[in-house]
Amino acid sequence: MRVAICSNKRAEREEIAGYVRAWGEEQEKKIESKGYESGKQFLYNFTEGSPLDLILISVEQGVSEMTGMALAKVIRACKEEVGIVFISDSMESIYEGYEVSILYYLLRPLKRREIEKCLELQEKRVEKREDKYLLIEEREEIRRLRYQDISYVSSNSHYIEVYTRTGMIKVRKRLREIREELSREEFIEIHRSYIVNLGQIEEFKGQRIRLSSGKDLPVSRGKKKELKEQLLHFHRKSHQSSFENEINI
C-alpha cells in the first residue's frame, strides 16, 4: 500500500508515518509512506499515473497554502479509487468531505488506533477492487478491464461501447449480455441503452446523472427509484453514509 501524508506540521507527519510503519511491520505487509508539507509540494510530485492508495490531508494548511479541500478535489478528479482521509481540529469540514467521498475523518489529537483503522479500511477496498474485472474479447485478443476503470457502457445496435478512463472499446455484443457479466452491486442499468458504474456517479438530479468524467446520461423514469436505492446502498458500503444528503431527485 502507498500512503501520502500532507500536513504543514512536521511533527504530525512524522507521528503518522511512525504509526503507518508500525502497522505495516505488525501486519507483515509492504507499505510505503511519504510526507509533504503542503498541497503544492504534493501536486508537484503527483501525476495521474502516480501509484497511490491512501492520502491523509490536514484540512488546515495555512492561509497562503492550498486548502486541504482544494487538494482533495484535484486528487479525486483523476483518482477515484484513492482513499482520502481528512485531519482537523474540529468537525467543521466533515460535510465538505462528502463532496470528495472521504474515507475517514480524524480529529486531533491523533490516536494510533484511528490511523490503523484508516489503513484497514483502505486495504479492504484495494483488495476488493483488485479482484473484480470484466473480460472483453476484441478481435482476436482478450482484454481485462478493472471495474474501477469502467465509466459506463452504451448500446449501439448490435455493438456495445465500453467507456473507460483512457478511451472507448467497441465490442460486438448486446447490452443484456454485459449486464449479466457485471456485478449488480457496482453497476446498474439506468436506461435501455446505458449501464453505469455506481462509483462514477457524481450527481443524480431529475432524470439525468453526471459522471465524474463530466458526461451526462439520461435515466429512464422507471429506473429512478432503483437507481436511488442502489446508489445509497453502494455508498453506505463504501463508508459514505451521508451521501444520501447529496442526492437531489
Q: Which of 143, 185, 180 is nearest to 164 (CA)?
A: 143
Can you give the pLDDT at residue 238? 59
What secondary structure, in 3-state letters, does 98-131 show?
A: HHHCCCEEEECCCCHHHHHHHHHHHHHHHHHHHC
35: containing domain: 2-130
pTM over 0.85: no
Q: Are 194 and 153 in contact (CB under 8 A)?
A: yes
Can you give the pLDDT at residue 63? 43
Q: Cα–Cα distance between 151 and 227 in angstroms, integer? A: 16
Structurally, the chain folds into a number of domains equal to: 2
- Which of 95, 130, 165 marks a domain boundary? 130
If one counts every other C-beta atom within 10 angstroms of the C-beta of residue 168, the result is 10
Q: Kind and range of the H or E element at 168? A: strand 168-171
Q: Cα–Cα distance between 101 and 242 in angstroms, integer? A: 10
Mutual angle of helices 112-130 and 10-27, in 10-degree steps: 60
Give the model confidence (pLDDT) of 63-112 as tens digits: 456 888 999 999 988 887 899 999 999 988 888 888 888 999 999 999 99
CATH number at residue 202: 2.40.50.1020
The reply to whether 118 and 162 lie within a common domain is no
Q: Cα–Cα distance between 34 and 50 in angstroms, integer? A: 13
Spell out, as residue ranges, where the chain has pLDDT lower than 50: 63, 239-249
CATH number at residue 49: 3.40.50.2300
- Which of 130, 163, 197 marks a domain boundary? 130
The reply to whether 81 and 6 lie within a common domain is yes
